[in-house]
Amino acid sequence: MPHPVVADLVQLLRLERLEDNLYRGQSRDIGTKFVFGGQVMGQALAAAQATVGPDRHVHSLHAYFLRPGDIEAPIVYSVDRTRDGRSFSTRRVTAIQHGQPICVFASSFHIEEAGVEHQIGKPEVPAPEDLEPIAIPAPAVLEKLPPMMQRWLSRQLPFEVRPVYPRDELKPPKRPPFQQLWFRLIDPIDDTPLLHRALLAYASDFHLLGTATLPHGISYYHPDVQMASIDHAMWFHRPFRIDEWLLYALDSPTAQGARGLGRGSIYSRDGQLVASTAQEGMIRIVGEAP
């Protein structure tokens, strides 16, 4: 049996079918103020996948986050079967809470085809076994933080994360806008490729926008910093397993106008480029919190 937090996450991505093209997913409080964007993407992808034949696999997705999600309420996903061609299928999904859209999502699916192939190489970094997991702050530090932040920092994660360049998120130094980290699901799951892709969509939302904060010595944990995802794009290139080590190589080419851009390349341990990501998000400095 998988670890309870892994089993819960897998269950979170298995939606309830309400009607043709209509699905419902539950929400989880993981210590964020609103529903985690990765949850919405993973569930929207699961809804879209449920309407596509087994011979077609997602190769790209694009999401726009319109409103913050309520962690106390379920989310309804309405799927528009936009097109089914000979090689590609396109789906549009609207995530709805309290009668209003909170996210619009588009994805494209493709049959298996042979073609030209190349990729950029994996960065040279230490192996995950030579790195330490992200450290949980000491109890004396945690108890001084707001309850929501305590839940976020002390929760049991379904993913193990080992950064190449660790930093103290509560007192972050200024650094160049790039980072690399290894991650994997903490327990093995079944071989269903659709599940592994939905879980990677979920995990890809961690650390991506945060890369844009590195040059400024700020983080999500600072009370005067407001951060939220605006959009998220993802491309799937090659097969992978989410329960085996993956390297997330991230950079942020720009931040301006209260927005920051993050980009990511995800590699398997043997150097295969399995997915690419991009995200723009809001980053505001609002002054001293009350």
The pLDDT tens digits for 80-105 are 999 999 999 999 999 999 999 999 99
DSSP 3-state assignment of 239? coil
pLDDT range class, residue 289, cuts 50, 70, 90 = very low
| Segment 233-246 mean pLDDT | 98
User: Do residues 5 and 168 lie in contact, with contact meaning Cβ atoms separated by under 8 Å?
Assistant: no
Annotation says 29 is catalytic: no
pLDDT at 288 over 50: no
**Whether pTM exceeds 0.85:** yes
* Catalytic-role residue among 229, 252, 265, 268: 229
**Quick one: DSSP state of residue 150?**
H
Annotation says 279 is catalytic: yes
pLDDT at 107 over 60: yes
DSSP 3-state assignment of 266? strand
* Catalytic-role residue among 39, 107, 205, 252: 205
Provide Rg for the chain, Cα atoms.
19
Taking domain 4-111+128-285, whether its CATH number is 2.40.160.210 is answered by yes
The vertex-37 CA angle with 34 and 39, nearest 5°, equals 100
pLDDT at 290: 41
Angle between helices 37-49 and 4-12 (to 10 degrees): 60
User: Do residues 155 and 31 lie in contact, with contact meaning Cβ atoms separated by under 8 Å?
Assistant: yes
Q: Where are the beta strands (DSSP E) in 204-258?
A: 225-236, 246-256
* Catalytic-role residue among 43, 108, 268, 279: 279
Annotation says 205 is catalytic: yes
